[in-house]
Amino acid sequence: MIDAVGILNSIPHRYPFMLVDRVLELEPGRRVVAIKNVTFNEPFFQGHFPGAPVMPGVLIIEAMAQAGAVLLLHDMADRNEKLVYFTGIDKARFRRPVGPGDQLRFTLEVLKLRRSTCKMRGLAEVDGKRVAEAEILSALVDRGS
C-alpha cells in the first residue's frame, strides 16, 4: 500500500490537481489499484454543477491516468527527472455520475509497455459499480523535454 506521501514522492502532481489518495495494490509493470475519496470540498464542485455536484468525467480519466503514472514511475530510480504525458484516450465511457461522498476505485492494467510509451486499460468503480472506463495512452519523457 502507498499512502498520500508515497504518492507525492512518486508523481509530480500537487493540489488542486492531485487526484489519487492511496494505492492499494501495485504489481510493477503490470497493474495498479488506487482510490480517490471524493469530498464536497473539491474545487470543481463550485461550478460543476451548483446545487447538483457531479465530478467531471475528464477528471475521473485524469485520476485514472495519475494512478497509471504511479505504476510507471514508482520503481524508477530517476523518477524525479521524468513526466508522464497523455498521448491519447480511447474507448472512454462514462456510466454513472460521481459525487461528494463517493470513493472511486481505479484498476489499471498495462496492455503495452515499451521504452517510452504505455497503453493501459482503466476502470473506475464506486461501490463495485462501473462508473467509467478508458484505454489511456501515455509517453514517458524527460522533464527537460
Residues belonging to the active site: 48
Residue 130 sits at φ, ψ, to 5 deg, of: -65, 125
How many residues does the structure list for the chain?
A: 145
CA distances (Å), 32 to each of 29, 53, 97, 112, in order?
Answer: 9, 28, 23, 14
Name the nearest CA neighbour of 95 among 136, 130, 126, 48.
130
Name the nearest CA neighbour of 26 among 75, 92, 61.
75
